[in-house]
Structure 1
Amino acid sequence: MLSGLDHLVITVTDISRAVDFYSRVLGLEVRYRDRERVDLLLGDIALRLHWTATDIEPRAATPTPGSLDLCLRSLLPLDEVQRHLEALDVEVELGPVSRQGATGPIESIYLRDPDGNLLELSRPLKETLE
């Protein structure tokens, strides 16, 4: 019945601050819809930023900044991602650590966006042959 994810809404307190973080720190392309909604493009999926005080309907029953826990796949090795984050003074909260992803083992690092949303950046974990 379903074929995939089109967009995911992230509720934020400051659109400009969130756009800066997701574009500068994570390299996502920005598409402005209007002053209360911005799309951050991730392949064929959009992370849609909504401002907390929006009048847009319908919306989640309790749109809350900082309540999201999202795992994103990295194209780059995590050591490169960590060097990039360090250069930008973005704190890594945890990692690298081994986790289980949707399709198998992954290695992840964790950080937070300006609203406190937990972002897990992951790469497939290559199994070693003995």
Structure 2
Amino acid sequence: MIHHLDHLVLTTHDEEACVDFYVGLLGMRLETFGEGRKAFKFGEQKINLHVKGREFEPKAHLPVPGALDLCFIASMPLDDVIQRLHARGATIIEGPVARTGANYRIRSIYLRDPDLNLIEISERAEA
């Protein structure tokens, strides 16, 4: 019945810091749509942005910043990602570590966005 994920919604306390993290640090593309709505685009997916207290309807029952745990597959080797994150002053809280992804083994690092959501960045692990 379900084929793939189109988008998800992230709720933030600080729109500017959130945009800087996902666009400036992670390299996603900022899209503005509708009546001033924002989204972060990457691959064939996007993350729609809601600001706490100014969410669009309908919304999750209890939209709160910091409740997400997201895993992204990197478009470059993970060691290059680590180097770029360090160059920007980002703090990696764990990794690289071996994990199990949706379709294969992955090698991952973890960091937090400005709302303290857990962000995992991974690459396919060698067999």
Residue 55 of structure 1 and its aligned partner are, at CA, apart by 4.6
1:5 equivalent in structure 2:
5
1:107 equivalent in structure 2:
107
2:126 equivalent in structure 1:
126
Quick one: which amino acid aligns to residue 125 of structure 1?
Answer: A
Normalization by structure 2: what TM-score?
Answer: 0.95
Structure 2 gaps of 5+ residues are none
Equivalenced residue count is 126
SS at structure 1 position matched to 2:62: coil
Normalization by structure 1: what TM-score?
Answer: 0.92
2:32 equivalent in structure 1:
32
Quick one: which amino acid aligns to residue 126 of structure 1?
Answer: E
Runs of 4 or more, structure 1, over 3 Å off, are: none
CA distance in 2, matches of 1:112, 1:100: 20
Structure 1 gaps of 5+ residues are none
Quick one: which amino acid aligns to residue 64 of structure 1?
Answer: V
Residue by residue over 1:36-73, the C-alpha shift from the partner in whole angstroms, topping out at 9 and shown as x without a partner, is x3110011111111101115211001101001000000
Quick one: which amino acid aligns to residue 107 of structure 1?
Answer: R
Residue 4 of structure 1 and its aligned partner are, at CA, apart by 1.1
